[in-house]
Amino acid sequence: MIELHSTPTPNGQKVMIMLEEIGIEWKHIDVNIGVGEQFQPQHLKLNPNNKIPAIVDTEGPDGGLYTMMESGAILVYLAEKSGRFLPMDARKRYDSLQWLFFQVAHIGPMFGQANHFNQQVRDNQYAKDRYNNESARLYRVLDNRLSECKWLAGDEYTIADIATYPWCKGHADLGIEESSFPNFMCWFESMEARPAVKRNNELAAAIRAHMEKAAKDKPAINIYDTKDNAERLARAKSTEPR
Ligand SMILES: N[C@@H](CCC(=O)N[C@@H](CS)C(=O)NCC(=O)O)C(=O)O
């Protein structure tokens, strides 16, 4: 059984889609990053970087409990555990890993910064231009790649597609015109047609609603205040029982 300690953000949803795809028994443990639950000592034991997602596998590689952070690594782990969505053929496997790393290294950080500056910091035009332009360039890379093959790694659906899709749900917010990215759109529609992706999207909305309700009386934190976050982390570490 897999426990997913998370919030249904794009990085959280990558793991949810994979769990739904492989059909393993799993449960969502809510970690509300909007109210600072990522700094709780029990969560820091799973993810010392105070982020979601993290997993606990009650039957890890040696049969015992195994915990993991970093959504890309978690996808590789679940692919190897289930024998699905990471081809065994060497070329196809490395193609999958290239596009998985492309998501983790470029799509996630750049789209994340674009969203941040578009939504939170209205007066920084330089940062907005930088991250919006870079995001549009990355959508062009995706569209070019998907003009050559149905899925990101080639002819097979893999963890590279699973990792990339949740980040692309907001393409309209980043000004991506559907008619200018036809290959990307065709892939996006193929993703949305998958039953596991549909289940994820419904589940993500339900979990979000229930987490908002549970946090109604808790003070929100500003997760973008990096100085406050450094202090929260230091405080959590110093009050942890030895
Ligand atoms: N590289 C990490 C990124 C994780 C990440 O940035 N998680 C965000 C939500 S999507 C988070 O937990 N933010 C809370 C915080 O910064 O305190 C991964 O892929 O797992």
Chain CA centroid to CA 218, Å = 25
Residues contacting residue 93 through CB under 8 Å, at least 6 positions apart: 86, 87
- How many C-beta atoms surround the C-beta of residue 127 within 10 A? 15
Task: Indicate the DSSP class of residue 221.
Answer: -
Q: Which atom of ligand 1 is nearest to the CA of 53?
A: 20
Q: Per DSSP, what are the bridge partners of residue 29?
A: 5
Q: Are 163 and 14 a contacting pair, CB within 8 Å? A: yes
For the chain, how big is the Rg over CA atoms in Å?
18
pTM, two decimal places = 0.96
Digit-coded pLDDT (tens) for 172-192: 999 999 999 999 999 999 999
pLDDT of res. 241: 65
* Fold (CATH) for 90-193: Glutathione S-transferase Yfyf (Class Pi); Chain A, domain 2 (1.20.1050)
pLDDT of res. 151: 98
pLDDT of res. 242: 60
Q: Which atom of ligand 1 is nearest to the CA of 10?
A: 10
Q: Is pLDDT above 90 for 123? A: no
What average pLDDT does the chain have? 96
Q: What are phi and psi of 12, to 5 degrees?
A: -70, -40
Q: Which atom of ligand 1 is nearest to the CA of 52?
A: 12
Out of 4, 9, 11, 113, give the residue to mutate to test ligand 1, the one with the largest number of ligand atoms within 8 Å of its CB. 11
Q: What are phi and psi of 85, to 5 degrees?
A: 70, 15
Q: Is pLDDT above 80 for 237? A: no
Enter the tokens of residue 206.
């339900």
Closest of 10, 13, 4, 19 to residue 54, by C-alpha: 4
* Fold (CATH) for 2-84+196-239: Glutaredoxin (3.40.30)
Determine the 3-state secondary structure of 27 from DSSP. Answer: strand
Chain CA centroid to CA 104, Å = 9
Ligand 1 pocket member 229 (CB < 6 A): yes
Digit-coded pLDDT (tens) for 11-38: 999 999 999 999 999 999 999 999 999 9
Q: Is pLDDT above 70 for 167? A: yes
Digit-coded pLDDT (tens) for 56-114: 999 999 999 999 999 999 999 999 999 999 999 999 999 999 999 999 999 999 999 99
Ligand 1 pocket member 115 (CB < 6 A): no
Distance, CA of 42 to CA of 230 (rounded, Å): 17
Out of 7, 47, 52, give the residue to mutate to test ligand 1, the one with the largest number of ligand atoms within 8 Å of its CB. 52
**Domain chopping of the chain, boundaries:** 2-84+196-239, 90-193
Ligand 1 pocket member 51 (CB < 6 A): yes
Place of tokens 């249904």: 8
pLDDT of res. 239: 76
Amino acid identity at 117: F
Distance, CA of 80 to CA of 66 (rounded, Å): 14
